[in-house]
């Protein structure tokens, strides 16, 4: 039996009459790259906010990094990393100042901060840029840096909300190499994306439609099940039945 990093059952979020997330259940294994797909408005973001301890579930149960999603949101926040679709570093601070800020937020000791900073900057070949303002870096570099900073405090799970939006294919490829490296070190990666080729990189993929998880399996199994040769085909077949407008 594989160890789970995320395990949720019947998780639901209602806003008044509107059920944004409708009784979703799934497990994510430790060290796995888990793709979380869905059309706009399918409830992806709401589901992810619940998993990050940002939003309180209306009903259901589950654990993230071993902590209860209903009661231990604050503990969850300390054991996860997060990178949002919109850029999440400060443009008017230098690379090092950004690192120090997030190190401070997660209570890293000065010694550990320095060690981690050198470690991740040399991995990115960024050591020479550490006193450059983040705003002056190209978008692709920024996003690689944002990912590295999201894993600065060695979280058990890192949540990536459309991390590669607006980046060229080569940089996206490099970004995914970073994700693989991180997963090889044992970090669980939970990623949402709109790019179906990226879905192929994931170990397993779930597809949300109208607040429900409609499919969950490895990309290969999904393609077999829906008798198509691409994830694009799988996604379109499943999302065709969506009732919610974008």
Q: Interface residues for another protein in 44-73 (CB under 8 A)?
A: 52-56
78 lines the binding site for another protein (CB under 8 A): yes
Cβ proximity to another protein: between 88 and 206 the closer is 88
| Nearest Cα residue to 99 out of 52, 136, 125, 134 | 134
The DSSP string of 160-173 is EESTTTT--HHHHH
- Beta strands 59-64 and 67-68 are antiparallel
Cβ proximity to another protein: between 62 and 219 the closer is 62
> Quick one: which of 29, 106, 195, 226 contacts another protein (CB under 8 A)?
106
Per-position x/- string for 190-229, each x denoting binding to another protein as judged by CB under 8 A, each - no binding: ----------------------------------------
Q: Say how many CA atoms lie within 13 Å of 21 toward its Cβ.
A: 26
User: What single-letter DSSP state applies at residue 94?
Assistant: B
Number of Cβ within a 10 Å radius of residue 111: 8
Q: Interface residues for another protein in 144-173 (CB under 8 A)?
A: 159
Q: Which stretch in 17-25, 78-86, 208-216, 230-238 sits in contact with another protein by CB under 8 A?
A: 78-86
Q: Which stretch in 32-40, 81-89, 182-190, 220-228 sits in contact with another protein by CB under 8 A?
A: 81-89
Q: How far apart are CA 191 and CA 183, in angstroms?
A: 12
């Amino acid at each position: 039996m594989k160890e789970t990093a995320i395990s949720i059952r019947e998780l639901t979020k209602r806003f008044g009459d509107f059920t944004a997330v409708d009784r979703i259940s799934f497990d994510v294994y430790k060290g796995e790259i888990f793709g979380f797909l869905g059309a706009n408005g399918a409830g992806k973001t709401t589901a992810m906010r619940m998993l990050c301890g940002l939003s309180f579930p209306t009903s259901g149960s589950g654990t993230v990094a071993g902590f209860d999603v209903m009661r231990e949101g604050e503990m969850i926040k300390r054991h996860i990393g997060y990178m949002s679709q919109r850029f999440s570093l400060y443009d008017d601070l230098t690379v090092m100042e950004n690192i120090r800020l997030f190190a401070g937020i997660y209570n890293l000791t000065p010694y550990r901060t320095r060690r981690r900073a050198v470690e991740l900057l040399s991995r990115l070949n960024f050591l020479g840029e550490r006193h450059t303002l983040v705003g002056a870096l190209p978008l692709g570099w920024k996003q690689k840096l944002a990912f590295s900073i999201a894993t600065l405090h060695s979280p058990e799970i890192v949540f990536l909300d459309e991390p590669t939006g607006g980046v060229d294919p080569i940089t996206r490829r490099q970004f995914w190499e970073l994700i693989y490296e991180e997963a090889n070190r044992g970090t669980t990666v939970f990623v949402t994306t709109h790019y179906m080729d990226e879905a192929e990189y994931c170990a397993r993929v779930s597809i949300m439609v109208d607040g429900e998880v409609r499919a969950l399996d490895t990309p290969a199994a999904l393609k077999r099940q829906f008798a198509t040769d691409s994830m694009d085909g799988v996604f379109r077949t499943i999302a065709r039945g969506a009732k919610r407008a974008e």
